[in-house]
Amino acid sequence: MSKTRVIFAGTPEFAKVALQTLIDKQDELNIEIAAVYTQPDRKAGRGQKLTASPVKELALAHGIAVEQPVSFSLKYAPDDGISGQVSRETLANYRPDVMVVAAYGLILPLGVLNTPTFGCLNIHASLLPRWRGAAPIQRAILAGDTTTGVTIMQMAQGLDTGDMLYKAECPIEQTDTTQSLHDKLAALGGAAITAVLADLVNYQKNAEAQDENLANYAEKIAAIDGQINWQENAFAIQRQIRALNAYSFLNGERVKVLSAMPIKIEQITHESAGKVVSVGKNALLAACGADEQGVQHLINITGLQWAGGKPFNAEQIANSNKVSDGDYFTNEGGA
């Protein structure tokens, strides 16, 4: 029985985990990873050196061919580079049976989606149709969702609109951050795509259309999304800290808010929003705005980082003399 020829397309660590799973399962799944597609090398770090993606590094370590087209668009025809037409021809020459896509970051036109015999499968980090788009992990935490997961989707034109082949759920704990949830979903994605490739024809036969009435979109995260508004309730602020690069201003200095513990229901306050109520060795307690019931809670901040400095845990904050009871976290400009 001939092996199924797989093209893998992905770029960041999330995709690397899935690729490693497929590499480990090649014999079990009777597949051959014919090539890996990933984003062109980018400048990174203080030295701004060209850096390969995690997916490229893994592929090269296993002797897998790597392709890094800039675009698959037929309109892309540079004088000194590879055109979209040539990129499509190169893909077709690999004679792919199926293409597995995970956080690739490049638009795949219909001509590309139709190139593999069984089309293109996407590993998406949400339970579709909830959280289509660029930032499903962050948006799920911000929204207070208690469950998320991974969907294996048959790719179609449109943003994450294709039919669903497989879903796997994952609880969101009160202590989960974007990073911890990312790691759980990355592992889940590897297991999910393995299950689908083991019985692909059957999963495609029983594919489920998405309910457009339930669809919502995980918009790309902007830097301003991380600025804490202390008039928000403590639960929303704690989710913001877990989900984003959260920051505020303290005594005129910008400070990153790195971590916070779950809110204790009994920690009720009547202090002004943003006020530092207590600086302790276990947590810095700050007042927040009222929730929907008009109750104000304290938030338990356990990690801060001042500009140009190292991250401080709660005990280091307490011993730093950088913040005292009665100080205020403020919005930019002191508001």
What are 51-75's pLDDT values in tens digits? 999 999 999 999 999 999 999 999 9
pLDDT category at 81 given cuts 50, 70, 90 is: confident
Two tokens, residue 333: 């400009």
Residue 10 makes CB contacts below 8 A (sequence gap 6+) with: 16, 18, 19, 36, 37, 38, 55, 100, 101, 102, 103, 104
Buried b (16+ CB within 10 A) or exposed e, 88-115: beebeebebbbbbbbbbebebbeebbeb
User: Does the annotation flag 116 for ligand binding?
Assistant: no
User: Does the annotation flag 126 for ligand binding?
Assistant: yes
Q: List, for residues 262-298, the tens digit of each pLDDT value.
A: 999 999 999 999 999 999 999 999 999 999 999 999 9
Buried b (16+ CB within 10 A) or exposed e, 189-201: bbebbbbbbeebe
pLDDT beyond 90 at 195: yes
Report residue 52 CA to chain centroid gap.
19
pLDDT beyond 60 at 214: yes
Mean pLDDT on 296-315: 96
pLDDT of residue 333: 55
CATH architecture of 4-218: 3-Layer(aba) Sandwich (3.40)
pLDDT beyond 90 at 332: no
pLDDT category at 228 given cuts 50, 70, 90 is: very high
Two tokens, residue 320: 């730093």
Are both 4-218 and 223-334 of the same fold? no
The helix, strand and coil proportions of the chain, stated in percent and rounded to the nearest 5, come to 30, 30, 40
**Strand residue runs (E) in the chain:** 4-10, 31-37, 42-44, 49-51, 66-67, 98-102, 120-124, 132-133, 147-154, 164-171, 217-218, 247-250, 253-261, 276-279, 284-290, 296-306, 312-313, 329-330
User: Does the annotation flag 324 for ligand binding?
Assistant: no
- Report yes or no: 232 and 251 within 8 Å, Cβ to Cβ: no
Residue 203: phi and psi, rounded to 5, are -65, -40
Look at the chain and count its residues.
335
Other CB atoms closer than 10 Å to residue 129's CB: what's the count? Answer: 20
Q: List, for residues 143-191, the tens digit of each pLDDT value.
A: 999 999 999 999 999 899 999 999 999 999 999 999 999 999 999 999 9
Mean pLDDT on 229-233: 96
Q: List, for residues 84-105, the tens digit of each pLDDT value.
A: 999 999 999 999 999 999 999 9
Rounded Cα–Cα distance for residues 211 and 131 (Å): 13
Tell me the DSSP string of 45-96. Answer: TTTTEEE--HHHHHHHHTT--EE--S---TT---SSS--HHHHHHHHHHT--
pLDDT beyond 70 at 320: yes
pLDDT beyond 80 at 306: yes
Residue 64: name the closest of 122, 2, 6, 3 by CA.
6
pLDDT of residue 252: 87
Mutual angle of helices 13-24 and 54-61, in 10-degree steps: 20
CATH topology for 223-334 is Methionyl-tRNA Fmet Formyltransferase; Chain A, domain 2 (3.10.25)
Report residue 54 CA to chain centroid gap.
15
Is 252 or 93 the better-scoring residue by pLDDT? 93
pLDDT of residue 43: 83
Mutual angle of helices 13-24 and 178-198, in 10-degree steps: 30
* Bridge partner residues of 123 (DSSP): 152
pLDDT beyond 70 at 256: yes
Going from N- to C-terminal start, the domains of the chain cover: 4-218, 223-334
User: Does the annotation flag 214 for ligand binding?
Assistant: no
Q: List, for residues 12-53, the tens digit of each pLDDT value.
A: 999 999 999 999 999 999 999 999 999 999 988 777 889 999
Other CB atoms closer than 10 Å to residue 309's CB: what's the count? Answer: 13
pLDDT of residue 46: 75
